[in-house]
Amino acid sequence: MPALRAAATAAFVLGTVLFLLHPPSLDGAEGLFGFVAGAIALMLVTASVTVWLPARDSMTEEEFERLVKRSEELAAKPAAALEEGEFDQLVAEAIDALPHEFLKVLETVPVIVSDRGAEHCAYGHYYGDTVARGNYEDRIVIYRDTLERDFGFDPGILRAQVERTLRHELAHHLGWGERGVQGLGL
């Protein structure tokens, strides 16, 4: 069981750290007993939390089925037809909504709207090097076709996803890898 193995590992690491940071004194049995009791209590709490947390984050079969059904319903809805230039305006507003420091970064990074998202199975792409290296020409591509297809049924959700996609690709430009960007909630 991976959860129990994780709990045992956490308990061992915690106990070892406690032992190294505050080694027990052999002067009195009372001090040693208090230390051991405290270490055992902390290990049990850590082990319990380690086992309990993953179980709490898992999705039930019913929740998963409800999510799939909702996704299929949304995919079946026709996308709201945007007027010519409306999507470009959404991207411009997403850029304007960025904090001032990030606007300065985008002064040298063009943001391009493309209809080739289905080819890449993506909402956006960052092409180039990180801001730290700068060996390649940088550009951020926002894919209108996939964003409108998946979020066009609701203008508010589409706007939010355009902003999220722009921030995601900008984070790549600033040097974050995919795991780091996801860790930022993007």
| Residue 34 in domain | yes
How far from 21 is each of 12, 14, 28, 38, 39, CA to CA, in Å? 14, 10, 19, 14, 12
Q: Which residues of the chain have pLDDT under 70?
A: 1-8, 18, 24-32, 47-59, 75, 78-81, 130-135, 186
Structural domain containing residue 132: 86-183
90 lies in the same domain as 153: yes
Neighbours of 134 (CB within 10 A): 11
* Confidence (pLDDT) at 82: 76
| Residue 77 in domain | no
* Confidence (pLDDT) at 51: 62
| Residue 36 in domain | yes
Determine the Cα–Cα distance for residues 25 and 36; give it in Å rounded to an integer: 11
* Confidence (pLDDT) at 24: 64
* Confidence (pLDDT) at 22: 72
Determine the Cα–Cα distance for residues 7 and 117; give it in Å rounded to an integer: 43
Q: Where residue 142 sits, what CATH number does that domain have?
A: 3.30.2010.20
95 lies in the same domain as 172: yes
53 lies in the same domain as 91: no
51 lies in the same domain as 92: no
Domain count, the chain: 2
pTM for the model stands at 0.57
Residues 6+ apart with CB under 8 A from 100: none
114 lies in the same domain as 173: yes
| Residue 81 in domain | no
